C-alpha cells in the first residue's frame, strides 16, 4: 500500500473529513479547493509533454472534451485569478484552431462533428468575454474564432431536410451525418446569442431566434421546454419523424444559457423570459435528485452506465446555470441553492485515491462522479474532475464575486472578423483521407454511444 493509501485509511478511521475543505462563504476557501481540483484535472493533459500535440487529451478522451476542458480553464482563470494554466490553454486553443482559425484540424476529420467544434468555439467565446490574454497579433483572435465558427455553422444550415437545422456530423462519410441533434444546434444557438450580445450585431440574434424556432418545430424542444437529443433524417424522403427522446443535462443547459443571453440582449423581452423560465423549470424537474437536491445525469448515472463523454455533461450544466443567473438575474434565487448544494456535494466526493495512471493529482483528492452519495464513488477521470471543478468554482458567479461577461462596449478587447470562416472547400469532398474503418465509426463520438446506451437505460424512441 502506498503512503497516501495508508493515510487515507487512517483518515477514514479517524474521521478526518473531506480531503478538500470547502467553506462556500469564504472566497479563499473556494479558490483553494478549485485550485486543488484543477491541478488534478490538468494532470490528465498530455499535450504539454515534449513530442505530444497541444490540445489533445490521451485516450479514451475525444477531441471535443479537450475543448471543453480548456473552456473550463478559461473560466477558472477568470474566476480565481490563477493563471497557472493560461499558457497551455492559449497554446492548445490556437493549435487546434489551426492557422486557418476554423477549428477543423485535419487530424480530427474522421470524427469531426459540429458539436465537437462547438466546445472549442465556446472556449474561444469565453476567452473573448473575459478578456483572457489576447494571442499575438499574427495569430487568430478569440472573437474572430467564435465568428468563424458561427459562419461555418450558418453555411451548413440545411433546409432541405427537417426544414432546417445542423446535422451532427460535418462530413457525409461519417456515421451520424443523418442525425440532427440538439447539442450541435445548441452550440450554434449558444454562440449566436453570445455574439449578438458581445457585438450588438442583430444578424446573430436573428439566427438565435431561428435556431430555437427550428428546435421547437421538430419537437426537440416541446411545449414544456423539455430538450430532446435529436432527430433522424430519413434516407427515403428527408423527413425527420424519428426522434431520440433522451434528455441529457448538457442539452438542457446549453439552450437555457443561450436563452438567458437572449433575454438579456433583448432587454428582458417577454418571449425570452418565458423560455428561460420554462427551460429552468424543466431542467430542475428532470436533473435534480429530490433526495439530495443535487444534479444527476438521470439517464445513466443511477445505473452506472454513463460513458466517458456522458460523465462530463453535468459540469457544463453547472457552468450554464451560473451564466443563466448572471444574464437573467430573476433566476438567481432558484439557481444559487442548486449550485451551492452541488459545490458542497462535489467537494465531498473528492476524496478518492486511485493510483496513477487513473489519477495523478494530490493524493486523496480525486473527484468521483456521483454527487448524491457524500463520498468518492470509485469513478475518476477528466469528466469527473472537470464536473467537480465546475461545481466548486461557479458559485463564485452567483455570489457576485465575478464580473459579468464583457462586450465590445464594456471593455472587451478581443478583435473580431465578421467575415471569417466561410465553408472550407475540403468540406465538400473529404478526399485524401484514408478509408473510414468500422472502428472510426464506432469512435465517431458521443451520440452514437448515447444511442447504444439508451437501449440499456430504457431509452424512448418515438416514431411519429
Ligand atoms: C508546460 O510545459 C512547459 C515547458 O516544459 C512548462 O514550463 C510548464 O510548466 C508546463 N505547464 C503545465 C501547466 O504543466
Ligand atoms: C496532427 O497530427 C500530427 C502528427 O501527430 C501533429 O504533428 C499535428 O500537430 C497535429 N495537428 C493538430 C492540429 O493537432
Ligand atoms: C407537459 O407537462 C404536462 C404536465 O406534466 C403533461 O401533462 C403534458 O403532456 C406535457 N406536454 C408535453 C408536450 O410533453
Ligand atoms: C436595450 O436597451 C438599451 C439601453 O436602453 C438600448 O441601447 C438597446 O438598443 C436595447 N436593445 C434592444 C435589443 O432592444
Ligand atoms: C443583463 O446582465 C447584466 C449583467 O449581469 C445585468 O446587470 C442586467 O440586469 C441584465 N439585464 C436584464 C434585462 O436582466
Ligand atoms: C453582422 O454579422 C453578419 C453575419 O456574420 C455579417 O455578415 C455582417 O457583416 C455583420 N455586420 C457588421 C456591421 O459587422
Return the HEC string of 314-362: HHHHHHHHHHHHHHCHHHHHHHHHHHHHHHHHHHHCCCECCCCCCCCCC
Q: How many whole angstroms separate alpha carbon 410 and alpha carbon 95?
A: 29
Look at ligand 4, atom 7, and give the residue with the nearest C-alpha: 267
Among 48, 104, 105, which residue has the most ligand 2 atoms within 8 Å of its CB, making it the best to mutate?
105
Q: Tell me the domains of the chain and their CATH numbers.
A: 17-27+263-390 (no CATH), 47-246+403-464 (1.50.10)
pTM for this one? 0.90
End-to-end CA, the chain: 57
Grid cell locating 292: 439530495
- Ligand 2 atom at shortest distance from the alpha carbon of 96: 13
Amino acid 421: pLDDT = 80
The helix (run of H) or strand (run of E) holding residue 89 is helix 86-97
Amino acid 299: pLDDT = 98
Distances (CA, A) of 294 to 20, 21, 286, 341, 460: 18, 19, 11, 6, 25
Average pLDDT per consecutive 10 residues, the chain (464 residues; last block may be shorter): 43 51 94 98 97 96 98 98 98 97 93 96 98 97 98 96 96 92 98 98 98 98 98 91 96 98 98 98 98 98 97 98 98 97 98 96 97 97 98 94 95 95 49 35 40 35 35
> How many Å lie between the centroid of ligand 1 and the Cα of residue 73?
15
Amino acid 228: pLDDT = 98
Amino acid 363: pLDDT = 95
| 163: CB partners within 8 A, 6+ apart | 214, 217, 218, 240
Amino acid 456: pLDDT = 32
Q: How many whole angstroms separate alpha carbon 162 and alpha carbon 214?
A: 9
Amino acid 399: pLDDT = 87
Supply φ then ψ for residue 180, to 5 degrees.
-110, 115
Of the listed ligands, the closest to the CA of 402 is 5
Are residues 250 and 183 in contact, defined by beta-carbon separation less than 8 angstroms?
Answer: yes
Amino acid 251: pLDDT = 98
Among 83, 86, 87, which residue has the most ligand 1 atoms within 8 Å of its CB, making it the best to mutate?
87
Angle CA(253)–CA(72)–CA(206) in degrees, nearest 5? Answer: 45
Q: Which of 273, 256, 376, 384 is nearest to 319 (CA)?
A: 256
Grid cell locating 237: 424522403
Q: Give CA 404 to chain center in angstroms.
A: 19
> How many Å lie between the centroid of ligand 4 and the Cα of residue 265?
8
Amino acid at each position: 500500500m502506498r503512503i497516501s493509501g495508508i493515510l487515507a485509511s487512517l483518515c477514514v478511521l479517524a474521521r478526518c473529513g473531506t480531503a478538500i475543505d470547502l467553506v462556500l462563504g469564504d472566497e479563499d476557501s473556494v479558490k483553494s479547493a478549485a485550485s486543488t481540483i484543477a491541478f488534478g484535472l490538468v494532470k490528465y493533459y498530455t499535450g504539454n509533454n515534449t513530442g505530444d500535440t497541444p490540445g489533445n487529451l490521451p485516450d479514451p478522451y475525444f477531441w471535443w472534451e479537450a475543448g471543453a476542458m480548456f473552456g473550463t480553464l478559461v473560466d477558472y482563470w477568470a474566476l480565481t485569478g490563477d493563471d497557472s494554466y493560461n499558457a497551455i490553454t492559449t497554446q492548445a486553443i490556437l493549435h487546434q484552431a489551426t492557422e486557418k482559425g476554423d477549428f477543423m484540424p485535419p487530424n480530427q476529420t474522421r470524427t469531426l462533428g459540429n458539436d465537437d467544434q462547438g466546445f472549442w468555439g465556446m472556449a474561444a467565446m469565453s476567452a473573448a468575454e473575459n478578456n483572457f490574454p489576447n494571442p499575438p497579433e499574427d495569430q487568430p483572435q478569440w472573437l474572430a474564432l467564435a465568428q468563424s465558427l458561427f459562419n461555418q455553422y450558418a453555411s451548413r444550415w440545411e433546409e432541405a431536410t427537417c426544414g432546417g437545422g445542423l446535422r451532427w456530423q460535418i462530413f457525409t462519410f461519417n456515421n451520424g451525418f443523418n442525425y440532427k441533434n440538439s447539442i450541435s444546434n445548441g452550440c450554434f444557438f449558444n454562440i449566436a446569442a453570445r455574439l449578438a450580445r458581445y457585438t450588438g450585431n442583430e444578424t446573430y440574434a436573428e439566427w438565435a431566434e431561428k435556431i430555437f424556432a427550428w428546435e421547437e418545430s421538430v419537437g426537440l424542444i416541446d411545449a414544456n421546454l423539455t430538450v430532446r437529443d435529436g432527430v433522424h433524417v430519413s434516407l427515403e424522403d428527408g423527413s425527420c419523424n424519428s426522434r431520440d427522446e433522451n434528455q441529457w443535462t448538457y442539452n438542457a443547459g446549453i439552450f437555457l444559457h443561450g436563452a438567458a443571453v437572449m433575454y438579456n440582449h433583448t432587454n428582458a423581452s417577454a418571449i425570452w423570459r418565458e423560455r428561460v423560465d420554462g427551460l429552468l423549470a424543466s431542467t430542475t424537474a428532470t436533473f435534480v435528485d429530490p433526495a439530495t437536491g443535487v444534479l444527476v445525469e438521470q439517464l445513466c448515472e443511477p445505473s452506472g452506465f454513463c460513458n466517458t463523454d456522458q460523465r462530463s455533461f453535468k459540469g457544463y450544466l453547472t457552468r450554464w446555470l451560473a451564466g443563466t443567473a448572471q444574464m437573467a438575474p430573476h433566476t438567481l434565487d432558484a439557481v444559487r441553492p442548486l449550485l451551492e448544494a452541488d459545490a458542497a456535494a462535489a467537494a465531498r466526493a473528492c476524496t478518492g485515491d486511485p493510483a496513477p495512471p487513473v489519477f495523478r493529482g494530490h493524493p486523496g483528492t480525486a473527484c468521483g462522479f456521483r454527487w448524491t452519495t457524500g463520498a468518492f464513488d470509485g469513478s475518476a477521470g477528466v469528466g469527473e474532475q472537470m464536473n467537480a471543478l465546475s461545481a466548486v468554482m461557479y458559485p463564485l458567479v452567483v455570489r457576485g464575486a465575478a464580473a459579468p461577461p464583457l462586450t465590445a462596449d464594456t471593455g472587451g478587447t478581443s478583435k473580431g472578423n465578421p467575415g471569417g470562416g466561410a465553408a472550407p472547400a475540403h468540406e465538400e469532398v473529404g478526399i485524401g483521407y484514408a478509408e473510414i474503418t468500422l472502428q472510426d465509426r464506432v469512435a465517431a463520438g458521443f451520440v452514437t454511444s448515447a444511442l447504444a446506451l439508451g437501449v440499456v437505460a430504457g431509452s424512448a424512441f418515438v416514431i411519429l
